[in-house]
């Protein structure tokens, strides 16, 4: 659990050569996160080269 009592959900995104798709994915993920206010989220973008 996070310090505010909410469960933390970590999303790991492999991002090598994905510069065109990342803005779309980010918009969709933030929409999803906004619809679940009882959770905290973190998104980790990793250059998996």
Write down the domain spans for the chain: 7-46
pLDDT of residue 40: 96
Q: What is the mean pLDDT of residues 23-47?
A: 96
Look up residue 44 and give its two tokens.
């980790």
- Residue 2: pLDDT over 70: no
- Residue 32: pLDDT over 80: yes
CA angle 9, 14, 20 (to 5 degrees): 110
Q: What is the mean pLDDT of residues 4-22?
A: 93
Q: What is the mean pLDDT of residues 26-34?
A: 97
Tell me how far apart the alpha carbons of residues 13 and 46 are, in angstroms, rounded to a whole number: 6
Q: What is the mean pLDDT of residues 3-27?
A: 92
pLDDT of residue 49: 82
Residues near 1 by beta carbon (within 8 Å), at least 6 away in sequence: 7, 8
């Amino acid at each position: 659990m996070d310090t505010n009592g909410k469960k933390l959900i970590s999303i790991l995104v492999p991002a090598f050569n994905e510069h065109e798709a990342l803005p779309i994915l980010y918009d969709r993920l933030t929409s999803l996160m906004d619809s679940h206010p009882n959770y905290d989220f973190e998104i980790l973008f990793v250059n998996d080269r």
